[in-house]
Chains A and B, each alone.
Chain A
Amino acid sequence: MAASALAVEDLVKYFPVPQTGVRAFLNPFSPLTHPALLGVSFQVESGEVAALIGANGSGKSTLLRILATLLVPTRGSACVSGYDVERQGPQVRAQLGFHSATDGGFYERLTARENLQFFAAMNNRFDSDAARRLEELTDLMGMGMFIDSQVRTLSTGQVHRVALARAMIHGPSLLLLDEPTRSLDPIAAAEFRRFLKTELVERQGTTILFASHTLAEVEQLADRVVLMDQGKMLACDSPGGIRASTNTASLEQALEKLTPPGSMAEVSL
C-alpha cells in the first residue's frame, strides 16, 4: 500500500523555557518544560487539503516547521510520502514547498525575479526550466507589474505573493502553508484559493496542509480539519464530519463547542 502523503504519529515538541538575568546563570541548562505539541496524530492522503486551525500558540506553526524539517520533534514521528522528517530530511525537502507566516526572507537588494531564480536553483531548477515555471507563477500570482523590482520596494502583499511563488517554484507534491492569504487583498486571496483548489489539487494532485484563522477559507478549501488547542489535537475530521459529530450547523458553532471558552478568539469567519 502506498504511504500517506503525510503521517503524523504521537508528535511531541517541548521548547526550553527562555530565562534571563540571574536565572539564566543559576540554571544554564533549563529543563524541557514548555510543551508546544502534545501527542498529535493524524494522516493526510495524497491530493487532500487539510487545514490546521486553532488559537495563537496552539502549535500550528510548530507542527508545520517540524514537517518542513526546520525543527526536530522531541518525541513521536512524522513522515512525508513515507520519508521520516527527522532522519530523511533531504528526501522530505525534495517533496515539499514551505511558506512561513512571516513574510520576507528575501534578498532585498535583488529583484523578485532574481530572488525566485536563486531559490529555483536551490531546488534544482535551472535556466529554461526555471524561467518557464517563473513565467507561469508570475501570471498566476499577478506579479507581472513588480517581478523586476527590488524586493525592498514592494508592498507587504506583493512580498507575500513572491513568498507563495517561492514555495511553489519547484512544483512540490506537498505544500505547507502558514496563513497563506494573510496579507493578500480579498480578490487576490480568492484567486489564490481557486488556484490551490483547481490547479494544484484537482489537476496536479498536490497535497496541501495549511494553517489559517479564517473559517470561510477552511470551509472552502479543506477536505479535513485538524483542530488544535494548547498543543493538543481536539479533532480531526472533514468540516461536515466535525459539524455532524458536534450536532451543529456551522463550523464556527462546532469549534465553539469543542474548544474551551475564549481560546478561539483569533479565529475569524
Chain B
Amino acid sequence: MNSRHTLRKVLAFFRRDVAIARSYRMAFALEILEAFFGVATFYYLSRFVSNDELAHSFPAGTDYFGFALVGFAFFDYLTVSMSAFDNSIMEAQQNGTLEAMLVTETPLTMILVASTAYPFVLLAMRTVIYLAWGALLFHFPIHEANWLGAVTILIASILAFAGLGIISTSYLLLFKRGNPAR
C-alpha cells in the first residue's frame, strides 16, 4: 500500500465520520456551541475561585483562568488518545462494520489509526476555539505561550496515552468486552 493510498484512506475515514456527525445535526451544532460557551463558563468560574493567595502560585502574567483553560483544552487530548482506538472498535463491533472492514485490503492497524483522524481534528478545532475565544474576550495571555514546548509535551503525552489506548483495544479485540485502561 503506497502513501497516497494511505492518505486517501485516512480521508475516507474522516469523511465517513464527518458525514455521520452531520447526520446528528443538533448534537453537531451543540458541540460547536459548547466550545464557545465553555470558555465563558470557565472565565466566570475562575473569578469566583481567584484570590491573592492563589494568584501568587502562578507565574507572572498568568492567572487561574489561563491555568484552567489550558488544562481544559489539552486534557481532552489525553482522553481521546486513550479512548479513540477502542471506541472505534467498539462502535464497529456494535454496528457490525468491523467484520466488513476486516475482509478489505485495509490492515487493522490502518483501521485503528485512521479511525482517530476525526476525533483529533475535532479536538484541534475545539482547542483553537477555546484559546482564540479566551484570548479575544477574556484576555488569556496567548502571546506569552511557549508553543514549541507545549507542542512537544502534547505530542509526547499523546503517544504515551495512545500506547495505553492500544493495549486497551487489544484487550477488547481478544475478550470482546471490558476495558483495563479505564
Contact = CB atoms under 8 A, between A and B. Distances in A.
Nearest to B9: A121
Most buried by B among A94, A104, A106, A122: A122
Looking at chain A, what size class is its interface with the partner chain? 20 to 34
Contact of A110 (B5, B9, B19, B96): B19
A109 B23 contact: yes
Given A110-B19, A114-B19, A124-B5, A100 B99 contact: yes
Contacts of A108: 95
Contact of A122 (B12, B20, B24): B12
Question: In the complex, which range does the number of interface residues on chain B fall in?
Answer: 20 to 34
B33 to A, nearest CB: 21
B interface, by DSSP: helix, strand, loop or mixed?
helix
A118 B102 contact: no
B8 A121 contact: yes
Interface in B1-58: 1, 5, 8-9, 12, 15-16, 19-20, 23-24
A166 B104 CA distance: 10
A176 to B, nearest CB: 9
B18 to A, nearest CB: 11
Contacts of A166: 100
A122 B99 contact: no
Contacts of A118: 12, 15-16
Interface of B: 1, 5, 8-9, 12, 15-16, 19-20, 23-24, 95-97, 99-107
Given A106-B97, A122-B101, 9 more contacts: A69-B103, A70-B99, A105-B96, A105-B97, A110-B23, A119-B100, A121-B8, A122-B106, A126-B5
